[in-house]
Structure 1
């Protein structure tokens, strides 16, 4: 399958990255899940520890008798291997889609214990407030595997693209677009170049990180995906654990704390209002995960 070539390369990158794990803990504690009176310590990994939401999350967890030993990772590919090797107990950094790619390429079976937020992905077109006049335009989309399929589906939801019969529903590529039935063309570029396309006057799908760096108002999008749509499900951010910990009540409590009003408010501030909390059962989340793993194999 066409995905296997990408996945083979991704697997090699993951293997290489495991020898280069660069992480640090916010505490001196080297012991994991040890109680201190009525408190328990949980070693949790993330790439987002500097965000306000994580500071509020740690404070709220402490109020509930859970001390977070936050392990900071500098790159995404470092986290799942560290979890598989038992260096951390739980993580919160990735989407279901990213976890599915890891499971499929590594042969591991990390599981999802709860959901967090989904960051809405938008279509931006400088000096335009609607899709009027977009027919025939070339739309720049990110070319990385984590965002490309989702960007195409944003355009599908907006009625601008049609996919060929038999195309993968959740992970389409530009080759899956039915050009004759579509209103726009897509040009896949590095995600860092999507703001440049926007500034040149071309419509572009731009993810939140690059929106913030380019100073583009997230509210100015002319279209966006629906966080409640089936097509958006792979992009729900999740809490990941080993299979043995899928029913751990302390970790389930952390999911509840992340969904609290205090953390949600901080999350909205961090994301400029583009983050939407999603509450889905772990059964539903793991079903989405397993379906994606099969698609990536």
Structure 2
């Protein structure tokens, strides 16, 4: 009986050693072939997530699996990035990032510029691009309610000849900085995603390109006035400060700034979005 037990134990032990040996060989094989690294990037649906979808196969070749998480607001992506729920996000420009990070005591940084989304003025009732004469007295005008894009919108309204600001180059301008409003415009501040829907209730709205595109608006055809192509508000990939040189992030930036992505942006958006590289 003891011999049988001893033999059984020997068989079990031998099998265990054999399985362990197979497991180690398999692990070595996986390491040698290179396990894929996954990075998660938060993005607005249009155009950021669309652009990132084109980046996926480029990163696959670099051994990186790109997971895209879509957000429809301008607050959550930075909070999620700070809380390490994301490796990066792609939806904002530097002035917005810096102001948001300062206000919320976050240590975030830009890893690289990708494209410019010119902000435009849209309307369902006004068709004349000479807004200074076409806009009725006392008209309602909707602009983004976040400080950076709000200032950007006010600067564009001044360019249209509708208002005067203390400083037309002040990226921190607010309604309090309006020094002249000859048409007595009522400026309404709304969440950026709501601006396209507000066109039913206001004379004009100043809308970010990503939300205009989501609403089926063509910035080149539908905008009464649009920012110049040399706008300083380039959209960036944001990361936690110190992560700019992570190999995965560097490869992400290289892919986003590749000839393939430039061609995609040019062909897909036909000038409504402009590569910044």
- Give the TM-score normalised by the residue count of structure 1: 0.66
- Where do 5+ consecutive residues of structure 2 fail to align? 1-29
Aligned to 1:284: none
Give the conservation status (yes or no) of the 8 Å contact 1:129–1:221.
no
Aligned to 2:188: 188
CA distance in 2 between counterparts of 1:141 and 1:130 reads 17
Give the conservation status (yes or no) of the 8 Å contact 2:141–2:204.
yes
Quick check: 98-107 or 247-256, which moved more? 247-256
1:9-24 correspondence runs (5 A): none
Aligned to 1:47: 43
CA shift at 1:163, angstroms?
A: 0.8
**SS of structure 2 residue aligned to 1:244:** coil
Q: How many residues align?
A: 239
Aligned to 1:84: 82
CA shift at 1:189, angstroms?
A: 4.1
CA shift at 1:122, angstroms?
A: 0.9
CA distance in 1 between counterparts of 2:51 and 2:251 reads 16
Q: Show CA shifts across 1:108-139 (max 9, x none).
A: 22111101112111112445242162366435
Give the conservation status (yes or no) of the 8 Å contact 1:136–1:184.
no
CA distance in 2 between counterparts of 1:129 and 1:264 reads 33
Aligned to 1:68: 65
**SS of structure 2 residue aligned to 1:44:** strand
* Structure 1 residue 106 corresponds to structure 2 residue 107: no
Aligned to 1:15: none
Is the alpha carbon distance of 1:111 and 1:196 closer, same or farther for their aligned partners in structure 2, counting shifts above 3 Å? closer
CA shift at 1:177, angstroms?
A: 0.7
CA shift at 1:169, angstroms?
A: 0.4
Aligned to 2:93: 95
**SS of structure 2 residue aligned to 1:274:** coil
**SS of structure 2 residue aligned to 1:171:** coil
1:240-279 correspondence runs (5 A): 240-267=238-265, 271=269, 273-279=271-277
Is the alpha carbon distance of 1:48 and 1:205 closer, same or farther for their aligned partners in structure 2, counting shifts above 3 Å? closer
Please tell me the root mean square deviation across aligned C-alpha atoms, in Å.
3.4
CA distance in 2 between counterparts of 1:224 and 1:172 reads 19
CA shift at 1:185, angstroms?
A: 2.9
Q: Show CA shifts across 1:40-77 (max 9, x none).
A: 524132134684322211112223x1413315154543
Give the conservation status (yes or no) of the 8 Å contact 2:120–2:206.
yes
Give the conservation status (yes or no) of the 8 Å contact 2:122–2:224.
yes
1:159-174 correspondence runs (5 A): 159-164=161-166, 169-174=170-175
Aligned to 1:217: 218
CA shift at 1:106, angstroms?
A: 2.5
Give the conservation status (yes or no) of the 8 Å contact 1:42–1:89.
no
Quick check: 217-226 or 169-178, which moved more? 217-226
Is the alpha carbon distance of 1:264 and 1:183 closer, same or farther for their aligned partners in structure 2, counting shifts above 3 Å? farther
CA distance in 2 between counterparts of 1:94 and 1:250 reads 20
CA shift at 1:202, angstroms?
A: 2.2
Aligned to 1:157: 159
Is the alpha carbon distance of 1:270 and 1:76 closer, same or farther for their aligned partners in structure 2, counting shifts above 3 Å? farther
Aligned to 1:140: 141
Give the conservation status (yes or no) of the 8 Å contact 2:116–2:274.
yes
Is the alpha carbon distance of 1:40 and 1:97 closer, same or farther for their aligned partners in structure 2, counting shifts above 3 Å? farther
Structure 1 or 2, whichever has the larger Rg, is: 2
Is the alpha carbon distance of 1:211 and 1:269 closer, same or farther for their aligned partners in structure 2, counting shifts above 3 Å? farther
Is the alpha carbon distance of 1:189 and 1:86 closer, same or farther for their aligned partners in structure 2, counting shifts above 3 Å? closer
- Where do 5+ consecutive residues of structure 1 fail to align? 1-33, 280-297
Give the conservation status (yes or no) of the 8 Å contact 1:198–1:204.
yes
Aligned to 2:235: 237
CA distance in 2 between counterparts of 1:170 and 1:99 reads 13
- Give the TM-score normalised by the residue count of structure 2: 0.70
